[in-house]
Amino acid sequence: MSTPDREPTPDTPRSTFDPGRTQRGGLIQVVGIGADGIEGLSEHVREIIHDGQVIFGSPRQLAAITATDGQELVAWPRPLLPALRETLDQHKHKRRVVLASGDPLRSGIGTTLISVFGSGNIRIIPTVSSDALARARLGWSAESSDVITVVGRRTSLVLRALAPGRRLVVLSSDEATPREIARLLTDAGYGPTTLTVLGNLGGPTESALSGTARQWSGSDVPEFPRLNVVCCECQADPDIAVLPTIAGLPDTAYEHDGQLTKREIRASALAHLAPSPGHLLWDVGAGAGSIAIEWMRADARAQAIAIEKSPDRAAAIRRNADRLGVPDLHVVTGDAPDAFVGLPTPQAIFIGGGATAEGLLDACWSALGARGRLVVHAVTVQTEALLHAAQAKYGGELVRVSVEYLQPIGSFSGWAPSRAVTQWSATRPARNS
């Protein structure tokens, strides 16, 4: 598909692959190479590399090939992204080949190139990915396991996926990743998890090491190859509660100072916010960040920004996000709506606190894109009056939610009501209004 924010131009064709462009130049061919090197490629793919006039790659990848007469080898600049387009455009009238590792679209250069040049300018030629090789070594089907990449990302992403019996294939950043994962899992109560570290998969020095997370979280840790995949067979300690990815984590899962949307109310809010892959949420007056965190836990591709004026609470949100496996949550410290300046357009907004701030409701409504969802909670009559006015202006639904908890009364038990919450939820029309 073509990138959504650029109209096709003569230099950026629509995403229809034209094999003839390979010979005419202009097309960037991205070849995935496994740990077995060039020798592991088919004759046809080796010919593509041989026929390239300019070969791009890391120094390690370029060292694996022998340049032919007139063939130029170009190592990637550092940092890569700011200079990527210029580096490739310098040779745009030549046959360009990019060397990549395994599947170039699995945390690889292929994804970056498509985002910069558009898919119509890129031809991906993958080899067997490292996660496919890892599953083959362990006999795990694709349906019975999940792939998580921490290449260039925080290893705490693994924590979102923890559940007894779950199989995880984690693509590592380097030789330190297995120990980091072992420590995280042990601290989270998953010390009995079996870890199998597969190194240099598909190459002549392929290796396999197995141990438990608890064993490897201490001082007695083996040395791991720099190129490795960590396979986790998750097992929890007996007293560990499983945290689901659906809405409604226990309140005890969060560090907070009392500013926390309670579990049952939180589940209702997220049902109306409707987390979706790739969608962005603003959590305004985020408190402990529970709405933003559970939005992101619902799908690995969901994104969220937590907006909180208290620096102490903002710091707690970051700790909560890291511990609950969504370290990519963006936290903005500042007052709403002033803090909205420069933020990307959200598909959903939640206001859990501070809805009485002047102009906040209207600013949130205006910030939403078409079909965007807005959910606001009120516990005071003043805020509730604002929600009645907002419903009259924008439509939507008003609901009062009250939850009661069983508590002891002497030697008996009785129901203790919590403070009722008025919830306004509305969806912005497809056309601006």
Domain boundary among the residues 203, 233, 263 is at: 233
For the cut 60, the answer to whether the pLDDT of residue 23 exceeds it is no
pLDDT at residue number 14:
40
Question: What's the rounded Cα separation, in Å, for the pair 6 and 241?
Answer: 47
3-class SS at 149?
strand
Query: What is the per-residue pLDDT for 13?
Result: 38
Distance between CA 232 and CA 146 in Å, rounded?
A: 10
Looking at the DSSP bridge assignments, the partners of residue 124 are: 30
Q: Answer whether residue 11 is part of any domain.
A: no
Tokens of 358: 């002047």
* Lowest pLDDT segment from 5-9, 106-110, 208-212, 242-246: 5-9
pLDDT value for 378:
95
The mean per-residue pLDDT over the stretch 365-387 comes to: 95
Verify that 358 and 263 share a domain, yes or no. Answer: yes
pLDDT for residue 9: 37
CB distance 190 to 163 below 8 Å: no
99 & 171 share domain: no
Claim to verify: residue 308 and residue 370 sit in the same structural domain: yes
Kindly state the helix (H) or strand (E) to which residue 208 belongs, with its residue range: strand 207-212
d(CA 390, CA 397): 10
Question: What CATH number did the domain enclosing 276 receive?
Answer: 3.40.50.150
Nearest to 159 by CA among 140, 187, 138: 187
Residue type, 79: P
Q: List, as one string, the DSSP characters of 84-144.
A: HHHHHHTTTTS-EEEEEES-TTSSSHHHHHHHHH-GGGEEEE----HHHHHHHHHT--GGG
Q: Judge if 104 and 138 occupy the same domain.
A: no
Are 312 and 325 found together in one domain? yes
Residues 228 and 264 in one domain: no
What pLDDT shows up at residue 195? 98
User: 60-69, 118-127, 199-208, 388-397: lowest mean pLDDT where?
Assistant: 60-69
Q: Do residue 222 and residue 285 come from a single domain?
A: no
What proportion of the chain, given as a percentage, has pLDDT over 90? 85
- The answer, yes or no, to whether residue 55 has pLDDT greater than 60, is yes
pLDDT band at 22 (very low <50, low <70, confident <90, very high): very low
How confident is the model at residue 36, as a pLDDT? Answer: 86
pLDDT in tens, 88-102: 999 999 999 999 989
- CATH number reported for the structural domain that contains residue 107 in this entry: 3.40.1010.10
pLDDT tens digit sequence for 256-271: 998 899 999 999 999 9
Q: CA-to-CA distance for 400 and 384, rounded, in angstroms? A: 10
Kind plus residue range of the DSSP H or E element containing 398 = strand 397-401
Cis peptide before 77 (omega within 30 of 0): no
Shared-domain flag, residues 117 and 136: no
Angle between helices 360-367 and 381-394 (to 10 degrees): 40
Q: What is the pLDDT of residues 221-274, one digit of tens each?
A: 899 999 999 999 999 999 999 999 999 999 999 999 988 999 999 999 999 999
Region 174-185 average pLDDT: 97
For residue 16, pLDDT over 90 is answered with: no
pLDDT at 39: 87
Domain membership flag for residue 238: no
Examine residue 4 and state whether it is found in any structural domain, yes or no. Answer: no
pLDDT at 289: 97
Same domain, 76 and 183: no
Looking at residue 226, which CATH number applies to its domain? 3.30.950.10
Give the pLDDT band (50/70/90) at residue 15.
Answer: very low
Question: Residue 212 has which token pair?
Answer: 């438990």
401 and 373 part of one domain: yes
Give the per-residue pLDDT at 432.
Answer: 56
| Domains held by the chain: number | 3
Residue 7, pLDDT > 50, answer: no
Residue 101's DSSP bridge partners are 33
Q: Rounded distance, CA 131 to CA 137, Å?
A: 10
Which tens digit of pLDDT belongs to each residue from 39-48?
889 999 999 9
In-domain check, residue 433: no
Task: Answer whether residue 5 shows pLDDT above 60.
Answer: no
Distance of alpha carbon 238 from alpha carbon 244, whole angstroms: 17
- Residue 15: CB partners within 8 Å, gap ≥ 6? 1, 2, 118, 119, 120
Whether 241 maps to a domain, the answer reads no
Q: Rounded mean pLDDT of 133-162? A: 96
The DSSP symbol for 421 reads E
CA distance 353 to 223: 49
Sheet strand arrangement including 122-125: 72-75, 54-57, 96-101, 28-33, 122-125
Same domain, 211 and 255: no
Q: What is the pLDDT of residue 353?
A: 81
On average, the pLDDT of the chain sits at 91
Last residue of a domain, one of 233, 260, 291: 233
Q: Alpha helices of 188-325 — where are they, by DSSP H?
A: 213-216, 263-273, 290-298, 311-323
Q: What is the domain range of residue 70?
A: 21-127
Residue where a domain terminates, one of 127, 161, 194: 127
Report the pLDDT averaged over residues 16-43.
75
pLDDT at 12 over 60: no
Residue type, 278: G
Are 367 and 420 in the same domain?
yes
Q: Identify the pLDDT of residue 25.
A: 52
Residue type at 13 in one-letter notation: P
* Amino acid, res. 335: D
Give me the pLDDT at residue 35, please. 87
3 state DSSP class of 397: strand
pLDDT at 159 over 60: yes
Q: Residue 14 domain-assigned?
A: no
pLDDT at 53 over 50: yes
- Distance in angstroms (rounded) separating the CA atoms of residues 390 and 385: 9
Between the CA of residue 376 and those of 214, 237, 264, 388, 412, what are the distances in Å? 43, 38, 15, 11, 37
Interior angle at CA 190, CA 106 and CA 214, nearest 5: 100
